[in-house]
Amino acid sequence: MTANDVVDRIKKNIGIPWNEKSYRDTFKVGDPNTEVKGIATTFMATLDLLQRAHAAGLNFVVTHEPTFWSDRDTVAELANDPIYKFKVDYCTRNNMVVWRYHDHIHSRPPDLIWVGLAHALGWQDRQVAGSFNRFTFPQTTLGALATEIQRRMSIRALRVVGDPSAKVSSAVVGMGYGMPRVTPDADVVIGGENPEAGAQFDDTEYILDAAYFGRNKGQIILGHAISEEPGMEDCANWLRTFVSEVPIQFIRSGEPFWSPKT
Amino acid sequence: MELSRRRFAQVAGTAALAGGRLAGQQTPLTAQQVIDRVGNAGSADGIKAGDPASVVSGIAITAMATMDVLARAVRENANLVVTLEPAFFGSTDAPLTNDPVYTAKQEFIRQNGIVIWRFGNHWRARKPDPFASGLARTFAWTKYQIDDDPSRYELPAITIGALVDDVARRLNARAGIRVVGDAQTQVRRVTLLPGSTPLPAMLKALPECDAVIAGETREWESVEYAQDTVASGQKKGLIMIGRVVSEEPGMNLCAEWMKTLVPEVPVRAIPAGDPYWRPTV
C-alpha cells in the first residue's frame, strides 16, 4: 500500500467531491509511491513530530497544518535555509512522506476538527439549538471557566482577557486561526489564534473596554494547536474505518509554547 | 511615507522656532496644529475621534488607546491621545452601530473633550527603528548593540529561562509571554523583532542569532520554524512578548521625540499594559 493509495481511499470515503484545486491538501515531502509502513495523524508536521513518528515505525504523516512554515508550503526561497535542508534530508533518509489534510477535513460533514474541539471542551451537549458554534452553560465566572478549560485541555500558555469575576453563561467558539467576533448575545469568545490588534475586528481591545464599562465579557485564547489538535485524533479513528493494512496512530505535535509563571 | 532625516530635521527646526515664538503667542494650540507640525503621512493615520480644533491641554502617547488609557489621560489632564494601534476595535477604526461599548467609549471621549490621533504608519517608518531601540532601552541593552543595527544585540551569556524572567519583569508582563526552546539553553546573540513579525523576517533573523524576541508571530509560520530549529539540535529560542507590550517602548521614544516638537504642553507616555492573564493553577 503506497501513500497515494491511502490518499485515494480518503478521497473515496470522504463523502464530498474532492477539490483538486486545493493547494493545501497535497503531498509536501517524499515520494507518493512510497510503501506505507504506518500512518501518523497530527496537528503539524514539525521536525520533532517527524522524529517521533519515525521512532514509532510510521513513515506516512497526515498533517493538518504546514510542514515548511507557510500556508502554501512555499519552498522556492528556502533552498539555502539550513533547517529546510535538515528537515528534507531527515524525511528522505528515513523514507518519510508528508501529506496535508486541511481543507477537506473542515468541509466534510461533520468537520472532524470541530468535533474534536467540542469534545475536548466537553461541550458536546451544550450547543445552542440551530447553531454550530454557540454554547450555553450554567452561570459561572470568567475566571472559573478559564480555569476549567486550562485544566481540562492541559494548556500551558492559555491567555485570557476580561474581568475574572465577570459572570458568564454563553460562549461563541472558533478554532485554528479563528477568533469569532464578539457579539451581544455571547458573553465569552473562545478561539485558537488571532492577531492582537489591527485586524478587521479586534476582540482583545473590545473585551478590555467592555470590562472597563462593567460588562460581562471575556476572551479565551486557546492556541492554534490546542484548538485543532484533538480533531486529528478523530481523523485517525476515521482512517481506521477504511484502512486496516497498516497501523494508524494519532501523535500529538503538542502545544509549542511554555510560559513563565505569572 | 517614510520621513527622511533631513525632513525630520526640518520639522524639528520648525518646532524650535514655534517654541521660540511662544512667549508672545495668544492663540492656544489646537490638535490640528500639533498634527500639522508633527506630520501625518500614514495611510491609516489621522484623527479617529474628537474635534481637531480642540485646544490641547496635554498629550498622552500609547500603543493602544484602551478605555484604561483614556481614563488615565483624563486624570493627568491630557486630551490629545496619540495611539499606534486602533482605538475602535479594528484596523480602520470604523464606527459600530448599536454597539454599547463603542457608544460608551465615544461618549466618554466627547464628555472629556478628547481627540484621538492614530499615529502608526508614520512612526513605524522612522529610521532607525524606534520600536527596536525602545525595547532595547527597556531591557538596558543599548550598550550591547551590534554595529548600527538597533535590532541586534550581543549579551553576556544568559539562559533562556533567566532571559525570559528578566524580560517579563522589565515589561511588567502578565500572561502574554510565550516561549519556544529549552529554558536551560545559553544564548548571547539576541534579535528584537517587535510588533507583528512576518515569516521572512524570522527566516532571516533566527539563523543569524541565538534567540529572537518578537511581538506576535503565527503558530504555523515562525513558531514552527523556531520549533524545527530547536529540534534540529541548534541551541536557540523564540520569545514572544505580545504585540502591544512589544510596541510600548517604541511609543515611549515617540513621547520623548514629540516633547521636542511640541514644547507648549506636557507630553507623556501611558502604557496600555499586557492585556492577558491566566489562571494560577
Considering the domain architecture, whether residues A171 and A220 belong to the same structural domain is answered as: yes
Query: How confident is the prediction for chain A on average, in pLDDT?
Result: 97
In a domain, A51, yes or no: yes
Closest Cα in chain B, distance from residue A143 (Å): 7
Q: Assign A34 a pLDDT band (cuts: 50, 70, 90).
A: very high
- Per-residue pLDDT averaged across A29-46, rounded? 98
Q: Does any CB of chain B come closer than 8 Å to the CB of residue A41?
A: no
Closest Cα in chain B, distance from residue A46 (Å): 6
Q: B273's torsion region: left (phi>0), alpha (psi -120 to 50) or beta?
A: left
In a domain, A89, yes or no: yes
Considering the domain architecture, whether residues A116 and A103 belong to the same structural domain is answered as: no
Q: What share of chain A has pLDDT > 90, as a percent? A: 97
Give me the amino acid identity at B97: T
Q: Which of B223, B276, B281 sits opposite A147 (nearest CB)?
A: B281
In a domain, A23, yes or no: yes
Question: Which chain B residues touch A48 with a CB distance below 8 Å?
Answer: 227-228, 230-231
pLDDT at B20: 40
Residue B276 · residue B168 · CB < 8 Å = no
What domains lie within chain B, and their CATH numbers? 5-125 (3.40.1390.30), 130-245 (3.40.1390.30)
In a domain, A236, yes or no: no
Q: Cα(B142)–Cα(B146) distance, rounded to whole angstroms?
A: 9
Considering the domain architecture, whether residues A64 and A149 belong to the same structural domain is answered as: no
Closest Cα in chain B, distance from residue A76 (Å): 13
Q: Which of B161, B227, B278 sits opposite A48 (nearest CB)?
A: B227
Q: Assign A183 a pLDDT band (cuts: 50, 70, 90).
A: confident
Phi/psi for B145 (5° steps) reads -60, 140
Average pLDDT along chain B, 281 residues, taken 10 residues at a time: 41 43 66 92 88 97 98 98 97 95 98 97 92 98 97 98 98 97 98 97 98 98 98 98 98 98 97 97 70
Q: Assign A31 a pLDDT band (cuts: 50, 70, 90).
A: very high
Residue A6 · residue A60 · CB < 8 Å = yes
Q: Which three cell numbers stand for residue B127?
A: 529610521
Domain boundary among A108, A127, A158: A108
pLDDT at B2: 41
**Closest Cα to residue B66, out of B78, B83, B54?**
B83
**C-alpha distances out from residue B58 to A27, A101, B38, B77, Å:** 59, 55, 15, 6
Considering the domain architecture, whether residues A116 and A37 belong to the same structural domain is answered as: no
Count of structural domains, chain A: 2
In a domain, A246, yes or no: no
Considering the domain architecture, whether residues A43 and A10 belong to the same structural domain is answered as: yes
Considering the domain architecture, whether residues A180 and A212 belong to the same structural domain is answered as: yes
Whether the per-residue pLDDT at A244 is higher than 90: the answer is yes
Flag if A260 and B177 touch (Cβ within 8 Å): yes
Considering the domain architecture, whether residues A78 and A117 belong to the same structural domain is answered as: no
Considering the domain architecture, whether residues A51 and A91 belong to the same structural domain is answered as: yes
pTM of the model: 0.94
Q: Does any CB of chain B come closer than 8 Å to the CB of residue A178?
A: no
Classify B23 as helix, strand or coil: helix
Q: Does any CB of chain B come closer than 8 Å to the CB of residue A103?
A: no
| ipTM > 0.95 for the complex | yes
Phi/psi for B176 (5° steps) reads -75, -5
In a domain, A230, yes or no: no
Q: Which of residues 26-45 of B touch A (CB under 8 A)?
A: none
In a domain, A71, yes or no: yes
Whether the per-residue pLDDT at A112 is higher than 50: the answer is yes
- Per-residue pLDDT averaged across A209-232, rounded? 98
Considering the domain architecture, whether residues A119 and A209 belong to the same structural domain is answered as: yes
Q: Which of B89, B99, B178 sits opposite A257 (nearest CB)?
A: B178
Q: How many CB pairs under 8 A join A and B?
A: 183
Residue of B232, B234, B240, B243 to mutate, testing the A interface (most A Cβ within 10 Å of its Cβ): B232
Question: Which chain B residues touch A77 with a CB distance below 8 Å?
Answer: 203
Strand order in the sheet with A134-141: A134-141, A167-173, A188-191, A218-221, A159-162
pLDDT at A73: 98
Q: Which domain holds residue A27?
A: 3-108
Considering the domain architecture, whether residues A125 and A97 belong to the same structural domain is answered as: no
Considering the domain architecture, whether residues A118 and A102 belong to the same structural domain is answered as: no
Domain boundary among A108, A138, A163: A108
The β-bridge relationship of strands A167-173 and A134-141 is antiparallel
Per DSSP, what are the bridge partners of residue B277? A160
Whether the per-residue pLDDT at A184 is higher than 90: the answer is no
pLDDT at B21: 43
pLDDT at B5: 40
Q: Cα(B227)–Cα(B217) distance, rounded to whole angstroms?
A: 13
Give the CATH number for residue A95.
3.40.1390.30
In a domain, A239, yes or no: no
Nearest residue on chain A to B279, alpha-carbon basis: A147
Considering the domain architecture, whether residues A104 and A15 belong to the same structural domain is answered as: yes
Q: Cα(A81)–Cα(A79) distance, rounded to whole angstroms?
A: 6
Per DSSP, what are the bridge partners of residue B47? B117
The set of long-range contacts for A73-77, using a CB threshold of 8 Å and a minimum separation of 24, is A73/A28, A73/A100, A77/B203
Domain boundary among A108, A139, A157: A108
Q: Which three cell numbers stand for residue A179?
A: 477568533
Find where cell 532571559 sits: B163
